[in-house]
Structure 1
Amino acid sequence: MEIRQLEYFVAVADELSFSRGAARVHVVQSAVSTAVSKLERELGVTLFDRSKLRITLTAAGITFLAEARATLDAARRARESVTGFHGRLSGTVEIGILQSSGAIDVPAVLGRFHRAHPLVSVRLRQSTAGSAGHLAAVADGSLELALVTLPDKRPRGVTMQVLLDEPLVFLCRPDHRLADREQIAITDLAAETFIRFTTGWGIRTLADRAFADADLEPVSPYEVGDLATTAGLVRHGLGTTLIPASEAARFSDLRAVSLESPLLWQVLLATPPPDRMSAAARAMADALRRTFENVAG
């Protein structure tokens, strides 16, 4: 059994796809498929159920995945034990990012990090399940750190630090009935066609709680997973929504109205305990903290 085989297996298990797993480790798909098949022969078990359109882990695969991650973590720590002898930080960091990080320019943070640590490879991952997906990945070890927003549940073994908060605002067309108001109450949205974000998004969680507390259930025919499409729907008169104030500023042709009782949207940094983080991941976490401190200050 080789470390390379374990890396390929974990990549495929995380992506539930041989093609996406191969892209993640920058190897052709045939090489990954061959390595995983060889691993299954060596172990004498089937790790993936390939009988359906989308592969899934078998019971043996689920059990083996936890041990494979632990072995890869041990190998990483062994490599890092000698990094001080060549004096430059190296390795790979996988970070989960959001559709919106508020006032933070994440590409700018990554650019500065790359210039400071050119030997570190950074991989970005977005989750269709929003913050909930990132938190699950940090908890199971497939991500070392992630930016998340207002999680309903905080998995055990995951450390959370609030980096930034800002209010949600009501986003509408300039000719909307509420556009000229300085502030509105949640109850003013009772008659609205409301555009919701995907389940798992922090914005969705905040909005749903506010509506439930006000005993409202607005009509919501649209559920959207990106901010640009949401703004487009608002622009064409198909609904209104709640959105972070910094994001609303991007859509200057639309009107942003404050809420009388502010709903604070938070960006948090999720990490495992320090002893489970690589030196490169700890450096990235520090870079994110410094950047958010500068914005907040």
Structure 2
Amino acid sequence: MELRQIRAFVVVADESSFTRAAARLNMVQSTVSAAVRNLERQLGVQLFERTTHHVNLTHAGQLFLPEARRTLAAAQQARHVLEQLHGGLRGEVRLGVIQTPRHTAVQPALLIARFRAEHPGVTVSIQAGGSVEHAEDLRKRRLDVAYLALPPEATAGLDLHNLTSEKMQLLCSTDHPLAEHDHVELAELVDQPFIEAPTTWGNRLATDAAFTRAGLTRTIAYEIGDTAGLTSLIRHGLGIAIGPPSFINPEDDIRTVPLGPAAPSIALSLAVPAGHALSAPVKALLQTAREPSEPTT
């Protein structure tokens, strides 16, 4: 067996497609197919059931997949050990980032800058997106580590390194009728037009779940995947939102009002795939994230 054959098998298993696996590996599909066929021939088993529209693991493939992952991880770890003998840690970390408050200590740019200062031989590539997208990319091994803001029920198959957690609040314009309330209940908001983030954002999932648990429905007037745009719509009185108060800056001119006992919480974490050996660069990045740092303004 060759590592390239094992890698091709793992990526096809992750993608459930030879076409997508070839694109991810930057190879032509025939080369990926040949690598998997040769691996099956050497092992004497069929690893995939192939149909016109689907590629599924056989029972043998399911048994072989975790061992294949461990083999690739061990080879990668061995390579990192040797690389450290020649000028320090080397490699790449694929990091998923989401929109986070710029005035808190949880800043992806700050983490990357600190990490690169400690490990200049490691390349950090970033992919922007929503938490749901990043979670799926972690499970499919398209990302190594990612910032997520998801409720626990949406984090299956992931290991989380918690960074912050806060109760979400009502966000409204300063002249909104609810702006001067000490607190509000979800039931008081059902007739209000909501400004929401996309369904791939963690705060949207948390808000949807809170209303579902309360047996309530609401009207979503606008959906926008940009924090600055969302707060601008709120500031101009076009609707309300429920979100973490840390997303609001003093100059935003937006009022935050505590919610009652049904208030959802949002936790920000760094996540990695569960049950998967982490490379030395990923371990180093997580270690840097755990080290205290001064917030920037």
TM-score range, shorter chain: 0.7 to 0.9
* Correspondence list, 1:126-141, <5 A: 126=128, 128=130, 130-131=131-132, 133-138=133-138
The equivalent of 1:190 in structure 2 is: 190
TM-score normalized by the length of structure 2: 0.72
CA distance in 1, matches of 2:217, 2:282: 42
Is contact 2:231–2:252 with CA below 8 Å preserved after alignment? no
Aligned length: 283
CA distances 1:236-292 after superposition (whole Å, capped 9, x unpaired):
654321122222218x3441322144644211233357981111111100112225x
Is contact 2:13–2:56 with CA below 8 Å preserved after alignment? no
The equivalent of 2:210 in structure 1 is: 210
The equivalent of 2:170 in structure 1 is: 170
Change (3 A) 1:254 1:270: same
The equivalent of 2:269 in structure 1 is: 268
Is contact 1:109–1:288 with CA below 8 Å preserved after alignment? yes
Change (3 A) 1:273 1:11: closer
The equivalent of 2:31 in structure 1 is: 35
* Correspondence list, 1:180-259, <5 A: 180-181=180-181, 183-199=183-199, 201-234=201-234, 237-249=237-249, 252-259=251-258
Unmatched 5+ stretches in structure 1? none
* Correspondence list, 1:90-105, <5 A: 90-100=90-100, 103=104, 104-105=106-107
CA distance in 1, matches of 2:68, 2:141: 11
Change (3 A) 1:275 1:218: closer
Change (3 A) 1:207 1:39: same
The equivalent of 1:119 in structure 2 is: 121
Unmatched 5+ stretches in structure 2? none
* Correspondence list, 1:10-89, <5 A: 27=26, 31-42=27-38, 43=40, 57-59=55-57, 63=62, 68-86=68-86, 88-89=88-89
What is the CA RMSD across the aligned residues, in angstroms? 4.0
CA distances 1:139-188 after superposition (whole Å, capped 9, x unpaired):
565544332223225436x4333211234232233443334446444333
* Correspondence list, 1:137-152, <5 A: 137-138=137-138, 142-149=142-149, 150-152=151-153
CA distance in 2, matches of 1:17, 1:141: 14
Change (3 A) 1:50 1:118: farther
> Per the alignment, in what secondary structure is the counterpart of residue 276 of structure 1?
coil
> Deviation at 1:221?
4.7
Change (3 A) 1:13 1:121: farther
CA distances 1:111-136 after superposition (whole Å, capped 9, x unpaired):
221122111122334555x24x5445
TM-score normalized by the length of structure 1: 0.72
1:36 partner letter = V
The equivalent of 2:109 in structure 1 is: 107
CA distance in 2, matches of 1:137, 1:154: 12
Change (3 A) 1:256 1:33: farther
- Which has the larger displacement, 200-209 or 238-247? 200-209
Percentage identity across aligned positions?
Answer: 31
1:288 aligns with 2:289: yes
Is contact 1:171–1:254 with CA below 8 Å preserved after alignment? no
CA distance in 2, matches of 1:20, 1:230: 34
CA distance in 2, matches of 1:62, 1:232: 51
> Per the alignment, in what secondary structure is the counterpart of residue 89 of structure 2?
coil
Change (3 A) 1:273 1:81: farther
> Deviation at 1:39?
1.9
Is contact 2:96–2:143 with CA below 8 Å preserved after alignment? yes
CA distance in 2, matches of 1:231, 1:8: 45
Change (3 A) 1:162 1:227: same
2:230 partner letter = T
